[in-house]
Amino acid sequence: MNLTVEMFGLSPHTEANSVNVDVENGATIGQLLEQLGRKVPQLRGRVIQPDNRLVENYGLYINGEFVSDDSAVRIKQGDRVVLILLATGG
């Protein structure tokens, strides 16, 4: 399936605000990140670790819910996926 990943706060690494990736229905977070890293290779090592996990300062939201690298999470057709830089403040 073709899935759009929206991206916010990634301008140091890419000018794109979104990218389309092909993943199978029921893909894991790791599989999604692997395909995203192939599509946008400049994210590798800076946003996406070699083991297809996110670097600590980045987060992934699916349908408005924050998700971790939980293997129980599966991507399905129609999901809204957002990758963001997590901001901290004080």
pLDDT by residue, tens only, the chain of 90 residues: 999 999 998 888 888 999 999 999 999 999 999 999 999 999 999 999 999 999 989 999 999 999 976 768 999 999 999 999 997 555
Q: How many domains does the chain have?
A: 1
Please state the pTM of the whole predicted model.
0.90
Residue 53 is assigned to a structural domain of this protein? yes
pLDDT given for residue 85 in this prediction: 93
Residue 20 is assigned to a structural domain of this protein? yes
What's the CA gap between 17 and 5, in Å, rounded?
9
Residue 90 is assigned to a structural domain of this protein? no
Residue 41 is assigned to a structural domain of this protein? yes
pLDDT given for residue 88 in this prediction: 59
Residue 74 is assigned to a structural domain of this protein? yes
Residue 42 is assigned to a structural domain of this protein? yes
Residue 26 is assigned to a structural domain of this protein? yes
Of 90, 5, 10, which is closest to residue 57 (Cα–Cα)? 10
3-state class (DSSP) for residue 34: helix
What's the CA gap between 23 and 19, in Å, rounded?
13
Q: What is the CATH number of the domain that holds 46?
A: 3.10.20.30
